Amino acid sequence: MEDPTIIRLTGHVAAYPATREARDTLRRYLDEAHRTLRSDPDADDIVRDLESAIGDRLSALVGSGDAPVTGARMAAILAEVGPVSPAGPVSPSAAGRPRGRFWCRIHEGGWFGGVCLGIAAYGGFRVDWVRTVVLLLTLFSGGLLAIAYLALLLVLPVVPTVADYERQRDAPRHA
């Protein structure tokens, strides 16, 4: 028999013994839920609620013994919970391509307007590296880059958080 692993779920203090197959089945289910709900602003709350519901079923199942949850048992629990689908009807345009990367300022965590954080989110860079490069280029350009930076402060749209940026980036384009 394979070594059991431990599963911890949101809303539950208990750790549930499970086989690796059960853990992988649960991980695939939750990852699919995240993908399905990626354009829903309440996606994180919905996935937490799903984890809590799965944890409730595991508590009832595992509470009687120490045997790990098997992959088949996990699949049965997930079948009880049911598939995850978006709350509203999916429009034909929603099945299209995602919006993709876009230039913006990100308010949360931004030092001076969030331009560097927006550049880091756009390019997938570490924000500390972007800030360092911008500072060095500003010094070596005699402050010329500061003028471009101020222009970006006026022109770029503001996004509250990096998570909101990623959600908007991955959301389908509107017709």
Sign for the pseudo-dihedral over CA of 43, 170, 156, 105? positive
Residue-wise pLDDT tens digits, 68-93: 888 888 888 888 888 887 765 544 44
Which DSSP letter does residue 36 get? H
In the chain, the N- to C-terminal Cα span, in Å, equals: 54
Question: What predicted TM-score, i.e. pTM, was given to this entire model?
Answer: 0.49
Which DSSP letter does residue 13 get? -
172: enclosing H helix or E strand = none
62 pLDDT band (50/70/90 cuts)? low
Residue found by looking up tokens 């990626």 in the block: 38
Nearest to 103 by CA among 94, 90, 112, 116: 116
Nearest to 130 by CA among 166, 155, 100, 106: 106
Residue-wise pLDDT tens digits, 16-26: 888 888 888 88
Residue 3 has pLDDT above 90, yes or no: no
CA dist 120 and 77 (Å) reads: 41
Residue-wise pLDDT tens digits, 10-53: 777 878 888 888 888 888 888 888 888 877 777 788 888 888 88
